[in-house]
Each structure stands twice: as C-alpha cells, then as structure tokens.
Amino acid sequence: MHTQSSNNTQEITLVLGGTGKTGSRVAQRLQARGVSTRIGSRSATPAFDWGLPDTWEAALENVSAVYISYAPDLAIPGVTDTIRRFVDRAVARGVKRLVLLSGRGEQEAQACEQIVQSSDLEWTIVRASWFMQNFSEGEFQGMIQAGVITLPAADIPEPFIDVDDIADVAVAALTEAGHTHEVYEVTGPRLLTFTEAAREISAAAGREVRFMQIPKQDFNQAIADSGAPDDLIWLMNYLFETVLDGRNAHLADGVQRALGREPRDFTLFAQQIASEGRWTAADENVA
C-alpha cells in the first residue's frame, strides 16, 4: 500500500494547488493508487488559502505527506515567508513527507527549496520550468487558436516539460521509497525555441501558427486588458525578463532518474492536443 502503515492514523496526502495544472493530475494519480487524498484549494472542503494561515490547520489534519504547488509561482515576492510558516506548521502537525514543485533557474524558488530541505522531513524537490500545457490549457491557448503566439520573448531554446511527467515524478516521490532528499530537475527530451514550438503546433493542427516577438509594453497592455490579476502580470514579466534569458537552455535528467524512462516529447504532446480539438482556429469555433 502506498499510504502510511495502518497503525498510523495520519494517512492522508494533501495536494496543494489541487485544482491546478500539476495538482489536479497529482490528485488523480494518487486517487487511482488508492491513496487517501485531500485537495488543497479555496474551493475545497476544508478550504485552503495560502493567504489565510488560519485555513491551514484543518487542511493538515491527519496528513502524512504534502505536495506543495504555489500559484502563481514561488518567485512572487514574500512567498518565502509563507512557505516557511507552512513548513513549520506541517512539522508541528506530524507531516512526514514534503514534495515541492519548484522553479528552474529562479533564485526565489531555490530559497523556498532550502526551507523545505532544512525541515528534517522526508523531502523531494521537483524543479521545472515552462510547461508544454501552457500552450493547451492556459496562457497561450487563445493565441494558438488565433494563429499567432505573440510574446515578448526572444527565440531562446527552452526544454518544455509535459505536466503529466511532472505529476508522475511527484506521485512517485509522495508514495514510494527511494526519492527522499532528491532534487529532480525535470525537462523535456529536447530544446525548442518558440518558433520551433509554433512549427510543431502548426504540423499537428494542420494550419499555420506563427510565433511573433512583440514589445514588452504591448504584451503588458494585452494581459492587463484581459483582466489578469496583478500578480500574474508581474509573474509573466518576471519569466520573460529573467528565466527566458537562456539560463534554462540545457536538458536535465530528473524524469529519467525518478521514473526510469524518457520524458514525453513535444511532438507527441502537440499531436494529442490537436486530436482533442483544443487548437481549433478561433473562427472555426465561432462557426
């Protein structure tokens, strides 16, 4: 069994960000394995809100392991204090294992890693950067439907990682032995620029999707007009100004070390998403 032994009443795994891109997949996989799973989100019961520490206590009741995914990103100013308070609370409540989703090439995220690593618990760090699923269930999906990916990014190579691979690594670390005190830096199997990613998407979707670099101020105006919250606007600027400077333009072997297999390639991801109709052209959706 993948939970704690039966003489320990603390058998619940808490999945923070349990409705997000990685958390929802982690929760589904845990439940499929028969692991008692609690979703940590503002809409869950009991509710969990990072901004309301009073909600943490109920969420941590009878919890033995926690998947920590902080939205929108660990790089947001002030988050290190929040993570420190949460880890202290988790230790006090008898949590045994922490798995942290961290940001590759992000100094602030690494500060959060150090907090988890100094906890004396069984910890695992899963360090990731740009998700393939940003193109299919989030920030850039509408751009692809419109045919142009407009971002303030240079054509820097990025080893886009499939969120399903991240979830598989996290679940292994939450439920199996052998992952304690490991830092799994996870990437896809190859580097792609945004131009090359657009070419892959075009081939899968059967129509042209272009990448176009736009000025930062134009991008900021567009996401502000979309009604995005201020912290997301800040984060997008941070990612394009710092993380996409080439610092992550190299592959890592976290998926291979954690799972004993290769990570999924962008081509397979693009073919699956196109087959599901999620990149149908905007004018076709209207028709």
Query: Which sequence spans correspond to the domains of the chain?
Result: 12-130+161-187+250-264
Fold of the domain built from segment(s) 12-130+161-187+250-264? Rossmann fold (3.40.50)
Mean pLDDT, the chain, rounded, equals: 93
- Separation between Cα atoms, residue 264 and residue 132, nearest integer Å: 10
Q: What pLDDT is stored for residue 5 in this prediction?
A: 38
Task: Read off the pTM.
Answer: 0.93
Q: What pLDDT is stored for residue 236 in this prediction?
A: 85
Q: Residue ranges of the chain with pLDDT lower than 70? A: 1-10, 284-287
- Separation between Cα atoms, residue 131 and residue 175, nearest integer Å: 23
Beta bridge partners, 126, equal 101, 184
Q: What pLDDT is stored for residue 1 in this prediction?
A: 34
| Residue 215 phi, psi (nearest 5) | -60, 150
Q: 188 and 255 in contact (C-beta within 8 Å)?
A: no
Q: What pLDDT is stored for residue 138 in this prediction?
A: 80
248-268: b (≥16 Cβ within 10 Å) or e: beeebebbeebbeeebbbbee
Q: What pLDDT is stored for residue 240 in this prediction?
A: 86
Q: What pLDDT is stored for residue 9 in this prediction?
A: 60
pLDDT digits (tens, 9 = 90+) for 40-83: 999 999 999 999 999 999 999 999 999 999 988 999 889 999 99
Q: What pLDDT is stored for residue 287 in this prediction?
A: 40
- Separation between Cα atoms, residue 228 and residue 221, nearest integer Å: 10
Integer distance in angstroms from the first to the last C-alpha of the chain? 51
Q: 231 and 72 in contact (C-beta within 8 Å)?
A: yes
Q: 141 and 135 in contact (C-beta within 8 Å)?
A: yes
